[in-house]
Structure 1
Amino acid sequence: MSNNYRSRTERKQAQKTKQNPRKRSGSILKKIVLAMLVLMTFGMFSGVVAFAWMIKDAPPLDETLLRDPLASIVYDQNGEKVTELGQQKRIYVSYKDIPKVLEDAVLATEDARFYEHHGFDIIRVFGAIVANIREGFGAEGGSTITQQVVKLSFLTPEKTLKRKVQELWLAIRLEQKYSKQEILEMYLNKIYYSSRAYGVAKAAEVYFGKKDLSELTLPEAALLAGIPQSPNNYNPFKHPEAAEKRRNTVLSLMVKHGFISKEEAEKAKKVPIQSMLAEYKQEDEIPYDSFIDRVIEEVTEKTGLDVFTAGLKIYTTLDQDAQSYVDELLNSDEVIRTDKEDFQAGIALVDTKTGEIRALGGGRKQDGVTFGFNYATDAKKQPGSTIKPILDYGPAIEYLKWSTYHQLTDEPYQYSDGTPIKNWDGRYEGQMSMRMALARSRNIPALKALQEVGLERAKEFANRLGMGFDEIYEAYAVGGVGTGVSPLQMAGAYSAFGNGGIYIEPHAVTKIVFPDGTEMDVRPKPKAAMKDYTAFMITDMLKTVVQSGTGTAANVPGLHIAGKTGTTNYDEKDRRRYGLSEGAVPDSWFVGYTPNYTAAVWTGFSKKSSEAYLTRAEQQYAKLLFKNIISHVDDGSGGDFKKPKSVVQLAVKKGTNPPQLASKYTPKDEITYEYFVRGYEEPIEVADDEPETLDPVTDLQAKYDPATNTISLAWSYTIDPENDISFEVRQTVDGGKPVVIGTTKDSQLTVNAGDGSVYLFEVYAVSADGTRSAPATALVQIPKEELSTPSDEKTQPGQDEETEETEQPEQPEEPETSEQPENPEQPTDPSNPNPSAPTNPTNPTNPAPSNPTNPSQGSTNTNNNTINNSNNQLQKPTQGETNEKRG
C-alpha cells in the first residue's frame, strides 16, 4: 500500500525516521571499538607500570659476578663453619678455544636459536613445551643461554613471576652489552658438571683426562652438553646408564637441528660410556667428603646453582662428632677386622624425629680420593630381610589390622608361580606369631603376609617410606629387590616407624642464604606414611628382634632399640661363575633405631668375585658397627617409644589359635604379652587352665629325742632337675598359730622341743616361681615324765641308752578357728580349708618311732638343721652332733 503524504516536508521526515535504526547500530559499534581501545591502552599502560615495578630493584650487571666465582660456606648443625667450597684453582677457557663440536652440542641442547634472538626466545619456549610433550621431560629447556647466565650470576632460583621478569630484563641488557661469543664463554665457564668440576674445561679433564678441549670427540662433547641439566643425576661416574641415555638424547637433538648427520649420531651412540671415562682423582681434600657430597647434591637439586661459584651460605644437619666417629670406625680395625681389600661398608645416621642426616659413612679406606663412590647414598644393594617390615608386616598391620600375635605357619611353601621358597636355615618351625616370625627372620611367613596384603598395597606403603618402587614382585618379600636400595633410603624408612608413622625425607641441608641475603628454607615437609598403631607395633616386634632374635649382637643395655638384620645370597648363575657355595653371603645389613637416632649399616663388596663373600664373623660387622655408633651418639634421653591409644596390650596364652586370654592359672612361661589394634582381633575367650601344683613330700616322720630335747623331722622327695625346689616347714604348738620355722633345700630338719607340748608340723614343697604343694603333716607330743627324770640318773643294766617309750597323753582339742599363716602370699591348699590342721595327722596314741627313716635318694643335702624353738632361728649343729644323731 502506498503512503499518502500531505506535503514534501512530511515525506522527507518519514524517510529520515526510517534511516535512524542503522545510525543507532553504527553508533553502538563505534562505542564498543572505542571502549576496547581504551582498555587496551590501559592494559598496556598497566603492563608497562607492572614491568617497571618488577625490574626497579633488579641487580646491576656486575661484571665481577659474571667472571669471578664466589666460594660457598658450609655450616654444621650448630652454625659452626665446616669448610668452603670453591677455593681451589679453576680452568678458564676462552671462546676461541671452544671446539665447534662442543659448541654445536651445547647449542642443540640448550639454545638452538642462540645467534638469532636477543636474550629471550618466544619460539624456543613453545618449542621446548612441544618437545617435552613428545620426547619426554628434559628433552629441551625453555630458557636461553643468556637467561641461564643471568640466573646463575645474579638471581635466586625462586620460581616467581617477578624473578622471571627480572631475568628477561637482565638477559636483554646482557645481550646489549656483550657479544654472543662472550656470553657463550661466560656460560661454559660457569656451569657445574658434578664431581666438583665447574666449567667445561675442568669437566673435560675430570671425566676424560683431557686438558685440551680440541681433543674432544663427538660422544664426549655430547656427554658434557647433557650433564648441566641435572649434574648429579647425569654424573657418568655414579650413574653411567642415565648419563649414556642423556648423551644419546643430545646426539638426537644435534641431528634435529642439523649440526650432525643421523649416521654420525648412530655411530657415536654405540660408544660405551665406560670406555670414554678416565680414572677419577681429586687432589684437594675436603673434610667429611661423604656428607659434603650429599650437601652438594641437595643444593644443586634445589637451586640449580654451582655451589663452588655461587657464594652461598649453606646450613646443614652435620654432627661433626658423630661424623668423625663414623669415619674412624670405617677406617680402623676396631670393628672391621678383615684382610679382604674389596670389603666395603656404607652407613647412614639420621635423627629419628626430624629426618636430619647427622653422619654418612661413604666407604672405607678411600685414602687420597675425595668425593669417591658414596656407599651410604649411591650404593643400590638388595636389602635382604630388612625389607620385611616395609613390604610384608607393616602393610599387614596397616591394611589388615593384624596383631603382633597373628598366627602364621612356617611350612613347605612356594611362590604363586610354583617356585619353592626356603628359609635361611632350610628348616620349618610350624605355627608361630607374626612377632616370632619377624624376630627369627622366617621367609615363608613373610611371603604369606605379602600375598595376603597384595602387591599393589604393599608397593604403595613402601613408596610412602621413600622406596621409589615402580613395580614389586613376590620375591621382594624376602629382600630380592632387583633395583636395590641405599642405606640412606633404609634409614629414612625405618625412622618413620620410630617417629609414630611420620616420614620425613632424610636431608642434609636446612637453609640456603644467597649473596643478596635472600634465604631459602629447604627442609622437607613431614608426611603421614602410616597409622600410629602400625608404627608402634612394628617397633615393638623389632625390639624383640634385638632382645632375643637375630639382632642381639646390636643390642645396647639401657637403650630402647628396635631393628632388623638382613643378608643376601648369590643366584645360581653367579655361584657357578665364581665358584661359590650355595650359602655364600655377599651383603649383610642391620637397620635399627631408638627414639633419638636411626642408623642403617650395609657391609659387602664393591664387585662380585670368588672372594666376595662374608664369613660368619664378617656377617656380624653390620650389627657391631650399629652398636658402636648408637652407643656413641645416644645417651638414652629419648626414653622408650610411646604407645598410642589405638593399641591395646593383652596377656595371651602361647600357642592358642584363635588367641585366648591367659587366666590366673596360666603358667608364666606360657604367657606372651601382645599388642592388638583396638577393636580388632582382640581375644575374648579365657584359657581353661588348672592351678599348677607340685607333688607333696612323702614319708614325713617326726622323732623326739629326750637326750637332746629335740625333734628330728625327715621326709622324702623326688627332685626334678629342671625345677628349683625348696621346702617350707611350719610348726603349730599346742593348737596355737602356725609359724614358718624354716625353709631349706635339705630333706630333714631338727627342732628344739618345749616342756610337755604338742607339736604339729607341716612341710610344703615350693618351686622358684612360688608354686606350692599340699602339705605333709606329722604330730609329736613331748612326754612330761621324760623331762622330769634327773639328768644324772644312771642307766640300769641291760637298758638301752635311748629313752624308753612312754605312754602318750591324749591329743589336745584343735582350736575352733584357724588363722592364716603369717606369709599372706602363700596359697592355702584348696582341699584343706584349715591350713593349721593336718590333712592326715598321726595317731597321738601311737608313739613316734624310735629311729626316723633316712632321707630318700632325692634329698639334695644330708646335713641336719636345728630349729631353736625359743627364738625360731635356724641353727647349724656341729659335726659331732650330726654324727651322734646319725648314730
Structure 2
Amino acid sequence: MADNGQSRTARRKQKKSKKKPIWKRIFLIALIACLVIGLGVAGLFSYYIATAPEIDASKLKTPFPSKIYDKDGDLIADLGNKARTKVEYEELPDVLIDAVTATEDSRFFEHPGIDVWRIGGAVIANVTNGFGSEGASTITQQLVEKSFLSHEKKISLKVQEMWLALQLEQEYSKKQILEMYLNKVYYGSGAYGVGKAAEVYFGKTDLSKLTLPEAAILAGLPQRPSAYNPYENPELMKDRMNTVLSLMVQHGKISEKQAEKASDVKIKSLLSKSEEENNKYLAFLDRVRKEVKNKVEGANIYTDGLKIYTTIDTDVQEHVQFLLSENENNPIDYPEPQTIEVDNETKEVDMRAGMVVLDTQSGAIRAIGGGRNYTHGMNYATDINRQPGSTFKPIISYGPAIENKQWSTYHQLNDDGPYEIKGSDQEIHTWVNGGHYYDWVSMRFALRESLNVPAVKTLAEIGYGTAQKFAENLGIEFANDQIALTDAIGGSETGTNPMELAGAYRAFANGGIYNEPYAVTKVEFPDTGKTINLKPESKAVMSDYTAYMMTDMLKTAISEGTGQLADISGLPVAGKTGTTNLENKEGSPDSWFTGYTTKYTISAWTGYDYQKAILPDTKIPHALFKNTMMEISQGIETPDFEKPDSVVEKPVEEGSRPAKLPSDYTPSSEIVKELFVKGNEPTSTSEKFDQLDPVESLKATFDKKAKSIKVTWDYSSDDNVSFDVKASVNGGSMQGLSSTDDTSLEISNVEPNATYKIQVTAVSEDSSASSSEPSTVTVKASGKQDEEEQDEEEEQDNNGTEAMQVSSVNASFNPGNKKVSMSWDYSGPPATYKVVIQGISSQQVSSTNASYFLEFPHPGKTYTVSVTPVGKNGSNQGQQGSPGSAQFTIPTDQGNDEGTGNQDGDNGNEDNNGNGNDNGAENESENDSDEAA
C-alpha cells in the first residue's frame, strides 16, 4: 500500500540519500586525491634524494677554475688558479663572521643545515611571485650548491640541496663549513676566497686587521660581485655595504652608532692603489663573462670549472691592444690630456677610445679594445652610450629608403637647407662648401659628402615607423623606444657603442644577414658532460639589394668622400665617418669610424668621459680603423663585394631628374653609372644633348673682284641657335672663323687658286654642349693676283697675326656664387676670344672679360685658364693669335678636411650634459665632406 502517496521503494531511496550528503563525497574524493598526490610527491622527492650526488670532500675545499679557449681551440686563460689564498677558520675575525652570517644566514650556528623559518617565508614568496623569486638557502646549502650542483632553479635541485646540506652538517662542524664556504665564494675582480678578496680590494693579507666597513664590503660582494665591484661601482657598493650594516644591527652584531660611523667612510679611501689583474685579454674576457652569465643560467666562470670556447683571434686582439697602449712604437698620435672645469673643479682628462673587430661573415668577435691601457671598469667598446653622428645615416635614412622604396643610388634629393623642424624654431643645417648648399644631388653624393638636410628629408619621407623597424632589426636600441627626426644624423638622445655599430654595419657587409655579435661559441660542463651552444641565430633583416647598394655607396664615401683618410689601396673597403657637437658650441665631443671588408668589420670611437671636453683631433678613429684593417688583412685574400642578381648597373645622364638614360649625343663627362633595384631602372632617354637639325642649302661662291667667298645657308628650325663656321685651305686642318647669329658670312682676302672647304654647325644657345652635324661645301678661289700684291697681302696677314697678343690674364674663384671671373688685356686688330678652363669648359666671347659657373668645385684643386684671340675682319679673320694664361685655385674650405685640412662636422646635437636634443638645434649639422664634386 502507498504511505502518504509514496511507495515503499521510494521511501527507502529517500532514506538512503539522507544518510550520505554530497559534501562527504567531495571530502572523501579530496582526501583520496591528497593521499595520491602526497604519495606521488613523496615518491618524487625520494627519487630526487636517491639520485643526489655523493659528498666529495675534494670538491668542497677547492673551486674549479674555468678554462678559456681561443677560436682555434688553444687555451688562453685559466681563470681562478692565480687568484686564490686559503684561510683557516682561526684567521677569521669576529667582525667578518658577524657580517657574513648576518647577511647570508643569521641562524647559521643554530639550524641543522636548513632553516625552516626561511623556507616558510620563501615558499610564500614563491607562491605569490613565482618559483625562484626568493631563495631560502643557508650557508650550508650554498656550499653544497657551489660544490656539487648546478645553479639552475629546479625543484629537484633544491630538494637535493637541502638533503645534502643535512648530510654535510652531520659530517662537518659549523666552523669547517663556514671556512670552506668563505674559501670558495667568488668576490669579483678574478678573486675567490675571502683571503684573496681582502688582498685584492684592501691590500691586506692579515684578516685580523679588517675594519667593520671592510668586513661589510666583503660580506656584501658575493651576492653580485661584478655589479658591486668597488673599483667600478663605488656608489652601488656603498648602498650594499649599508644594507649589510643594517642587517648586523638588526641581528644584534653591532650598535646603531657603530653602523653610522662605518657608513660615513668613503669606499675609495679603503681600496688599495690598484686592482690586481690576471690576464692580458681583459676586455675580451669581460665580454665572455657577461655572455656566460646572461646565457647560461647560474654559471660562474671563476668557480664552475667550465670549458669556454670563444671567438677571440689573439693576434688581432694583441694588435688592437697595442694601438690603444702607451707603447712608444704605437703609430697612433693621441693628444695630450686637456684641462676642463667640471662642477667648479679643475680636472685633467685623457682622450678615451674603444674599438671592436668582428668577423664579417659570422659576426664572431675577434677583438675588443676596451680602452686605452684597459684594466677593469668602463669598457669603451661595449658599455658607452654616445651619440653616433653621421654613422646613423645608412641605418636610419638611406638603408630603409632602399629597402622599402627601392631607391636607386642616383635617387635625387634636394639639399636646399636649412631644414626647419615642424612645430619648432629649430633648424638643421649642412655645413658644407662654406655654408652653401648643393641643391639637387644623388643619394650617393649626399651620403658621400655626409649632407644633413637630405638625410632628415629621407627619414621624413620614408616614415619613422619604417626606419625604426629597420634599425631595430640591426640591433639598435632607441631611447624611450622612440625614434626621433634627429636620429637621421645621430643627434638625438639615442646613443650607441662600437659593438652595436659594428654589428649593424656587418649586416650591410654580409648580404643583409644579421646576428648579434658573440664572443662565446659553446660552454662545456666537465662533471655532467653537458654542452651548451651559444652561437646566436642569424636572420635576414634586409634584401640583398639593400646591402649591396648601401655598401657600394659606402665604398664611395671612403674613396672620394669624408672617409678618405681610412682608404686602403688595393683593398675593397666601405665605411662611414661620424662626429657630434654640443649645442651652441664649436667642436666635436665624439668621433667615429665604422667600416668593413668582406672579411672584417671594425668600429672605433674616441671621446672623453666629460662631454664638455672637445676633441682636438677627430681623425683618430680613421687611423685606428686603417691601421688595424691593413694589419689583419695581410696574407689573406679579401674578395670584393659580389653584386646580386637583384641589382642592375645603368648609365645615367647626370642632372636628369628623374633618372634618364644618356642619349647618343650625351657627352661622356655627363654620364655616371648608378645602381638600381632590378625592375626599377630608367627606361626613358634624355633629350638634353640631342643634336640639332643641320643647316640647309649651304652655298659658297667666290667673288674674284672682291677677292672674297660669300657663304650662305638656310635654317628652318625654331631652335634658339647660333652658327659655328670653320674652314680649311687646300686640305689643311679646320680653323674656326666665326660664331654668328646670321645665316651668311663673307670670307675676305682669300688665297688665289686655293680650295676652301667650309663647315657650318648649328649650336644651341641654351646649352653649349648641344649642336648639329656639320654641313660642308667646297669652293675654289680661281684667278691670278699680282705677285707684288700677293706678297703685300701676306705681309699684312703676318703683321696682323703678330699683333694679336693677349696679356695680363687674371682668373679668380668666388665661393659665394661658385663663379670663375676672368679678365685680360688686348691690343690689336678686332678679335673675339676663345676662353678655355682646363678640363671644364670652352667658350667664345667678344669682350676682354668672362665668367663661368663652376657647379662642382674641387677643394684645393688648381685650374689653368687660357685666352686666345681670334681675328674678326679682313686678313685676320679666323686667324688665332698668341694666347695668354693664368691659374686659380679652389679654396680648401669648399669641402671637408679629409685630406685638405678642413674640419669634418658630422654634427648631431647634444645638450651640455651630453644628451641629444631631438628637436634638432641649429648647430645640429654635419660637414663630413671632402670635395664638392
Q: What TM-score do you get using the length of structure 2 for normalisation?
A: 0.65
Answering whether residue 510 of structure 2 is matched by residue 515 of structure 1, we say no
Answering whether residue 690 of structure 2 is matched by residue 691 of structure 1, we say yes
Residue in structure 2 matched with residue 598 of structure 1 by the alignment: 601
Answering whether residue 304 of structure 2 is matched by residue 326 of structure 1, we say no
Answering whether residue 151 of structure 2 is matched by residue 149 of structure 1, we say no
Are the aligned partners of 2:593 and 2:605 in contact in 1 as well (CA < 8 Å)? yes
| Equivalent residue for 1:337, pick from 320, 333, 341 | 333
Aligned residue runs from structure 1 range 308-707, under 5 A:
308-331=302-325, 333=329, 335-338=331-334, 340=336, 342-364=350-372, 366=373, 371=376, 374-397=379-402, 403-404=408-409, 405-415=411-421, 417-425=424-432, 427-429=435-437, 430-452=439-461, 458=467, 461-471=470-480, 473-480=484-491, 484-516=495-527, 517-530=529-542, 532-570=544-582, 582-605=585-608, 613-615=615-617, 618=620, 620-629=622-631, 631-632=633-634, 635-637=637-639, 639-643=640-644, 645=646, 651-660=651-660, 662-663=662-663, 665-675=665-675, 686-691=685-690, 699-703=726-730
Are the aligned partners of 2:523 and 2:531 in contact in 1 as well (CA < 8 Å)? yes
Residue in structure 2 matched with residue 870 of structure 1 by the alignment: none
Query: Displacement of 1:99 after TM fit?
Result: 5.7
Amino acid in structure 2 at the alignment position of 1:526: S
Instruction: Determine helix, strand or coil for the equivalent of 1:437.
Output: helix
Residue in structure 2 matched with residue 578 of structure 1 by the alignment: none
Answering whether residue 75 of structure 2 is matched by residue 81 of structure 1, we say yes
Answering whether residue 725 of structure 2 is matched by residue 714 of structure 1, we say no
Instruction: Determine helix, strand or coil for the equivalent of 2:86.
Output: coil
Stretches of structure 1 lacking an aligned partner (at least 5 in a row): 573-581, 704-711, 721-757, 782-796, 802-850, 861-887
Query: Displacement of 1:526 after TM fit?
Result: 2.6
Amino acid in structure 2 at the alignment position of 1:628: M
Percent identity, aligned pairs only?
A: 44
Amino acid in structure 2 at the alignment position of 1:376: A
| Equivalent residue for 1:290, pick from 280, 283, 301 | 283
- CA pair 111-352 structure 1, distance change in 2 beyond 3 A: farther
Residue in structure 1 matched with residue 122 of structure 2 by the alignment: 125
In structure 1, how many angstroms separate the alpha carbons of the residues matched to 2:726 and 2:334?
A: 65
In structure 2, how many angstroms separate the alpha carbons of the residues matched to 1:149 and 1:306?
A: 14
- CA pair 392-763 structure 1, distance change in 2 beyond 3 A: closer
Are the aligned partners of 1:601 and 1:626 in contact in 2 as well (CA < 8 Å)? no
In structure 2, how many angstroms separate the alpha carbons of the residues matched to 1:662 and 1:123?
A: 84
In structure 2, how many angstroms separate the alpha carbons of the residues matched to 1:130 and 1:49?
A: 22
1:759-806 Cα deviation digits (max 9, x unpaired): 9999999xxxx999845767799xxxxxxxxxxxxxxx99x99xxxxx
Amino acid in structure 2 at the alignment position of 1:407: L
In structure 2, how many angstroms separate the alpha carbons of the residues matched to 1:270 and 1:858?
A: 92
Stretches of structure 2 lacking an aligned partner (at least 5 in a row): 338-349, 695-721, 740-754, 763-768, 781-786, 792-874, 885-933
In structure 1, how many angstroms separate the alpha carbons of the residues matched to 2:284 and 2:164?
A: 36
Structure showing greater relative contact order (alpha-carbon pairs closer than 8 Å, 6 or more residues apart): 2
Query: Displacement of 1:599 after TM fit?
Result: 0.7
- CA pair 131-12 structure 1, distance change in 2 beyond 3 A: closer
Query: Displacement of 1:460 after TM fit?
Result: 5.1
1:607-646 Cα deviation digits (max 9, x unpaired): 6787x63236657424533543453375214x4155374x
In structure 1, how many angstroms separate the alpha carbons of the residues matched to 2:267 and 2:474?
A: 33
In structure 2, how many angstroms separate the alpha carbons of the residues matched to 1:191 and 1:21?
A: 67
Are the aligned partners of 1:702 and 1:779 in contact in 2 as well (CA < 8 Å)? no
| Equivalent residue for 1:19, pick from 10, 15, 19 | 15
Amino acid in structure 2 at the alignment position of 1:640: F
In structure 1, how many angstroms separate the alpha carbons of the residues matched to 2:127 and 2:210?
A: 31
Are the aligned partners of 1:295 and 1:509 in contact in 2 as well (CA < 8 Å)? yes
1:577-630 Cα deviation digits (max 9, x unpaired): xxxxx54334322101223221111234566787x6323665742453354345
Greater C-alpha radius of gyration:
1
Query: Displacement of 1:347 after TM fit?
Result: 1.8
Instruction: Determine helix, strand or coil for the equivalent of 1:541.
Output: helix
In structure 1, how many angstroms separate the alpha carbons of the residues matched to 2:550 and 2:188?
A: 39
Amino acid in structure 1 at the alignment position of 2:54: P
Query: Displacement of 1:317 after TM fit?
Result: 0.6
Residue in structure 1 matched with residue 836 of structure 2 by the alignment: none
Amino acid in structure 1 at the alignment position of 2:287: R
Residue in structure 1 matched with residue 748 of structure 2 by the alignment: none
- CA pair 2-350 structure 1, distance change in 2 beyond 3 A: closer
Query: Displacement of 1:679 after TM fit?
Result: 7.5
Query: Displacement of 1:67 after TM fit?
Result: 1.1
Residue in structure 1 matched with residue 855 of structure 2 by the alignment: none
- CA pair 424-852 structure 1, distance change in 2 beyond 3 A: closer
Are the aligned partners of 1:696 and 1:773 in contact in 2 as well (CA < 8 Å)? no
- CA pair 697-433 structure 1, distance change in 2 beyond 3 A: closer
In structure 2, how many angstroms separate the alpha carbons of the residues matched to 1:399 and 1:248?
A: 55
Query: Displacement of 1:289 after TM fit?
Result: 3.1
In structure 1, how many angstroms separate the alpha carbons of the residues matched to 2:637 and 2:41?
A: 61
Are the aligned partners of 2:728 and 2:758 in contact in 1 as well (CA < 8 Å)? no
Residue in structure 1 matched with residue 919 of structure 2 by the alignment: none
Aligned residue runs from structure 1 range 95-244, under 5 A:
95=89, 98=92, 110=104, 118-119=113-114, 121-126=118-123, 143-158=137-152, 162-211=156-205, 213=207, 223-240=217-234, 243=237
Instruction: Determine helix, strand or coil for the equivalent of 2:581.
Output: coil
- CA pair 31-701 structure 1, distance change in 2 beyond 3 A: closer
- CA pair 249-504 structure 1, distance change in 2 beyond 3 A: farther
In structure 2, how many angstroms separate the alpha carbons of the residues matched to 1:256 and 1:775?
A: 106
Are the aligned partners of 2:316 and 2:632 in contact in 1 as well (CA < 8 Å)? no
Aligned-CA RMSD value:
5.0
Count of matched residue positions in the alignment of Structure 1 and Structure 2: 724
Query: Displacement of 1:223 after TM fit?
Result: 4.9
Instruction: Determine helix, strand or coil for the equivalent of 1:520.
Output: strand
Instruction: Determine helix, strand or coil for the equivalent of 2:196.
Output: helix
Are the aligned partners of 2:727 and 2:756 in contact in 1 as well (CA < 8 Å)? no
Query: Displacement of 1:564 after TM fit?
Result: 0.8
Are the aligned partners of 1:601 and 1:625 in contact in 2 as well (CA < 8 Å)? no
- Which stretch of the first structure deviates more once superposed, 490-499 or 254-263? 254-263
- CA pair 31-526 structure 1, distance change in 2 beyond 3 A: same
In structure 1, how many angstroms separate the alpha carbons of the residues matched to 2:15 and 2:321?
A: 97
- CA pair 4-636 structure 1, distance change in 2 beyond 3 A: closer
1:335-369 Cα deviation digits (max 9, x unpaired): 313462634432210112322111122334x3xx7
- CA pair 224-385 structure 1, distance change in 2 beyond 3 A: farther
Are the aligned partners of 1:149 and 1:187 in contact in 2 as well (CA < 8 Å)? yes
- CA pair 354-775 structure 1, distance change in 2 beyond 3 A: same
Amino acid in structure 1 at the alignment position of 2:312: L
In structure 1, how many angstroms separate the alpha carbons of the residues matched to 2:425 and 2:467?
A: 21
Amino acid in structure 1 at the alignment position of 2:455: A
Instruction: Determine helix, strand or coil for the equivalent of 2:496.
Output: coil
- CA pair 558-150 structure 1, distance change in 2 beyond 3 A: farther
In structure 1, how many angstroms separate the alpha carbons of the residues matched to 2:113 and 2:448?
A: 67
In structure 1, how many angstroms separate the alpha carbons of the residues matched to 2:98 and 2:645?
A: 62
Are the aligned partners of 1:602 and 1:622 in contact in 2 as well (CA < 8 Å)? no
Query: Displacement of 1:386 after TM fit?
Result: 1.6
- CA pair 613-32 structure 1, distance change in 2 beyond 3 A: closer
- CA pair 17-83 structure 1, distance change in 2 beyond 3 A: closer
- CA pair 139-159 structure 1, distance change in 2 beyond 3 A: closer
